[in-house]
Amino acid sequence: MFLPPNVAKDMLPWKRVEMLLALSLFGIPALFLLRDGYYITDTLSSKYKIAGVVNSPYISNTKVDQNDGQLKAFLENLPLMTLVAMIFVVLRRILFHIHKSVTLSLYYYAVFGLGYAAYIHGPGVLFLLGMILSNYVAASTMGGIKGFPLVIWIGNLSFMMMAEYYHGFKFAWVAKNLSFLDDFPVILSWYRVNNLCMLKVVSFLVDYHWKVSNKMIPTHEKHMSKCDECKEDVMCLKFRMDFHADRYNLLCFIAYNFYPPLYLAGPTLTYNAWISQVEIPQQTYDRKRLIIYILRFSFILLILLWFIHYLYFPTIANNSSNRHILDGMTPYELIVTSYLILNWIWLKFTMIWRYSRIWALFDGIESLENMGRCMTNSYCFESFWRMWHRSFNQWLIRYLFIPLGGSRYKIFNIWIVFGYVALWHDMTLNLLAWGWGMCLFIMPEVLVKAYFASPKMANFRKTLTYSWMRAISGGFYICLMVMANLVGFSFGLTGLKIALEGLLNWDGLLLMIKVLISLIFGTHFMLMYREDETRRGIKDKGY
């Protein structure tokens, strides 16, 4: 079945046959699993009253899973957000047509952004504005001093954790006669977006610190000599991220933090990349490519709507009122539930991030693509994390991983990085277990990859044994990734314990062996697909 990697080009047709066979041995069971998921949901909904499932406001005579508040709020507000997005883009283009001024654009972003944030958070936006102003004053007085980045990190991390712990601050704590401001109705509490604001604050201040302390190393010439886009006078996003901005002032800081398209969800964009595109709009997405991107987004939206109408596994797993249903599931039903929940998580975040990204693209701002690969198309932790939250990953590399010593101390600094990632998402035991669980799984992966990447293993990497080893280890690692992500974003530790206990019997073990075999073939297909992408010159793209 397995052919050695790097075979001659005249073997390519055979490689294609092998690739299709591996895909079928993985894809066909996955399709049956999806079909069975539909039947399991139908059976459970007729047997139990599932909490979180209500009459659908979208399709008559149909039920829908509305247990997830984030997704529910997004879908309900989608028409209004689209109207706001259209007004934002049209006004911006009218202003730019009247007077092509970067400063005017920055004022527009700042005013519109503050109004947008005030509409969402009410008076609570003043806490965010106060945090931003305090950081700007600190940068004005301490920027360039050796320990300034550490001060930034300690101060903003403390503010984020306190805001999360107290569920925001109260005006009554400042002055009793301001307590009436705490009673204003809001769409979303300001502390819910404070973690995203922290990313932008750190990006602006650290980039400014590096500039005034002359620690920014010019890499443009080296990058342009290797980048195909930049060779054709198209400034790619990587070039813009390392771009040495000249504008560092309060107007830029406020406009960057409250930039409406990326304000609520991201994807995260560094200050250098953002201000570069305010001055020179993105050039990588022409009209045709943007239309195709919108069609892809629409397709994902339709799939997600179908999912929440006919597959109720997210609410079964996440709603404590449905725990008795989870307890009564067979081993196979638990596997179906786990797999489909992860696909639901992928669909949800892909839709939200791509909507924000489309809005920004209409305004000439390109951000990194999160969820670059389908959740099912990942076989190791490093590639899974890089593609799942790619923009955040690039931010972490630039502002945390490299300052901590980079790859030289990778085994040690990943604990700090993923500890921060867990706290950044939410201060819960489940997410901390997810973050450090990821570290436990990444450590052996890093060591094994480093060993087999060494020159002495060059010949072994061309053997059939190496292909088998990668596929088998990938199958096991997918199982570990499923467990880690279910702990962090769905079941939690208690739910995972129930799922594992349900599989610890003879039927469960036989089922897991079948699943593992399918995952091994799936991993082999992914590896061959990566090789095919490399041969075609595609980098970090594809499904």
* Same domain assignment for residues 304 and 247: no
Q: 242: helix, coil or strand?
A: coil
Rounded (10°) angle between helices 381-388 and 429-452: 120
* Same domain assignment for residues 169 and 117: yes
| DSSP state letter for 59 | S
Instruction: Report the distance separating Cα 338 and Cα 349, nearest Å.
Output: 17
* Pair type for strands 53-55 and 63-65: antiparallel
**51-70 pLDDT tens trace:** 989 999 888 888 999 999 89
Residue 113 confidence (pLDDT): 97
Lowest mean pLDDT among 293-297, 435-439, 449-453: 435-439
**481-502 pLDDT tens trace:** 777 766 666 666 676 777 777 7
Domain assignment present for residue 77? The answer is: no
Tokens for 462, please give them: 């061309």
Does residue 441 register a pLDDT over 80? no
| DSSP state letter for 399 | I
Residue 240 confidence (pLDDT): 67
Domain assignment present for residue 521? The answer is: yes
Domain assignment present for residue 407? The answer is: yes
* Same domain assignment for residues 295 and 405: yes
Instruction: Report the distance separating Cα 6 and Cα 4, nearest Å.
Output: 7
Asked if 65 contacts 312 with a C-beta cutoff of 8 angstroms, the reply is yes
> In the structure, how many helices (H) and strands (E) does the chain have?
23, 2
Instruction: Report the distance separating Cα 135 and Cα 17, nearest Å.
Output: 58
What is the number of structural domains in the chain? 2
Mean pLDDT, range 362-369, rounded to an integer = 94
Instruction: Report the distance separating Cα 207 and Cα 482, nearest Å.
Output: 36
Domain of 362, in residue numbers:
9-67+286-535
* Same domain assignment for residues 387 and 363: yes
Q: Show which of 252, 279, 306 is a domain's final residue.
A: 279
Burial class (CB in 10 A: 0-12, 13-18, 19+), 224: middle
Other Cβ atoms within 10 Å of 512 Cβ, number:
15
Other Cβ atoms within 10 Å of 541 Cβ, number:
10
Confidence of residue 3 (pLDDT cuts 50, 70, 90): very low
Asked if 207 contacts 144 with a C-beta cutoff of 8 angstroms, the reply is no
Chain position carrying tokens 């590096």: 210
Confidence of residue 303 (pLDDT cuts 50, 70, 90): very high
Instruction: Report the distance separating Cα 145 and Cα 148, nearest Å.
Output: 5
Instruction: Report the distance separating Cα 216 and Cα 244, nearest Å.
Output: 8
Contacts of residue 123, defined as CB under 8 A and 6 or more positions apart, other chains included, come to 171, 181, 184
Helix residue spans in 50-193 (DSSP H): 69-98, 102-121, 125-142, 148-165, 171-174
Residue 541 confidence (pLDDT): 46
pLDDT above 70 covers a percentage of the chain that reads 89
Distances (CA, A) of 48 to 42, 51, 307, 323: 10, 9, 19, 12
Instruction: Report the distance separating Cα 116 and Cα 260, nearest Å.
Output: 7
Asked if 236 contacts 251 with a C-beta cutoff of 8 angstroms, the reply is no
Confidence of residue 246 (pLDDT cuts 50, 70, 90): confident
Domain assignment present for residue 255? The answer is: yes
| Overall pTM surpassing 0.95 (yes/no) | no
Does residue 221 register a pLDDT over 60? no
Does residue 46 register a pLDDT over 80? yes
Asked if 263 contacts 196 with a C-beta cutoff of 8 angstroms, the reply is yes
Q: Which one, of 392, 432, 429, lies nearest residue 416 by Cα?
A: 432
* Same domain assignment for residues 503 and 461: yes
User: Could you tell me which residue, 524 or 375, shows the higher pLDDT?
Assistant: 524
Residue 436 confidence (pLDDT): 81
Domain assignment present for residue 415? The answer is: yes
Asked if 94 contacts 365 with a C-beta cutoff of 8 angstroms, the reply is no
Domain assignment present for residue 302? The answer is: yes
Report which secondary-structure segment, H or E, holds 65. strand 63-65
Instruction: Report the distance separating Cα 129 and Cα 114, nearest Å.
Output: 9
Lowest mean pLDDT among 102-111, 373-382, 418-427, 444-453: 373-382
**149-187 pLDDT tens trace:** 999 999 999 999 999 999 999 999 989 899 999 999 999
Which residues, in sequence order, are bridge partners of residue 63?
Answer: 55
- Mean pLDDT of the chain, nearest integer: 85
* Same domain assignment for residues 167 and 316: no
* Same domain assignment for residues 392 and 298: yes
* Same domain assignment for residues 160 and 304: no
Lowest mean pLDDT among 79-83, 406-410, 453-457, 483-487: 483-487
Domain assignment present for residue 84? The answer is: no
* Same domain assignment for residues 225 and 175: yes
Residue 173 confidence (pLDDT): 93
Q: Which one, of 238, 307, 242, 286, lies nearest residue 56 by Cα?
A: 307
Q: Show which of 229, 255, 279 is a domain's final residue.
A: 279
User: Could you tell me which residue, 31 or 240, shows the higher pLDDT?
Assistant: 31
* Same domain assignment for residues 303 and 244: no
Q: Show which of 260, 279, 298 is a domain's final residue.
A: 279
Domain assignment present for residue 405? The answer is: yes
* Same domain assignment for residues 328 and 376: yes
Does residue 519 register a pLDDT over 90? no
Asked if 480 contacts 523 with a C-beta cutoff of 8 angstroms, the reply is no
**202-219 pLDDT tens trace:** 999 999 999 888 766 555
* Same domain assignment for residues 244 and 354: no
Residue 339 confidence (pLDDT): 83
